Amino acid sequence: MRENYKTIEVRTERHTEFVDITSRVRRIVAESGISEGICVLYVPHTTAALLINENADPTVVQDVASKLEKMVPWEENYLHPEGNSAAHIKTSLMQTSHIILVEGGKLLLGTWQGVFFCEFDGPRQREVFVKLISS
């Protein structure tokens, strides 16, 4: 089954961390030889997500992380006994999958857009699955 998709390994170092994985996704697309189609990204974790947003200025994702922390603080009276309810809630507010068009053998992202792996319960070893579908 693993022949049908690629896996990007992500090792996070902090509790909350946004890791730019754009270049790794682009490399998978380039190596695939697909010229037209879609790239499906999926995170198989309940305390991590994906974000497509500006990657030219790192303060953008810092602001996103900061606002999420204010909206869903780590220390709260949550019922979940594992102590990571805030991470589950943040993931629920984000997306765990994205579809990006592939055109001319390249991801069809906007000028300032990048793909971020969003860690909310780190540090951990994580995965992002990449499925390419040719049209």
pLDDT tens digits, one per residue of 32-71: 999 999 999 999 999 999 999 999 999 999 999 999 999 9
Contacts of 86 (CB under 8 A, 6+ apart): 72, 73, 74, 76, 78, 120
Q: Which domains does the chain have, with CATH numbers?
A: 2-134 (2.60.120.460)
The pLDDT of residue 4? 86
The helix (H) or strand (E) run that includes residue 59 is helix 59-71
Residues 93-125: pLDDT tens digits?
999 999 999 999 999 999 999 999 999 999 999
The pLDDT of residue 1? 40
User: Which of 98, 114, 122, 100 shows the shortest CA–CA distance to 48?
Assistant: 122
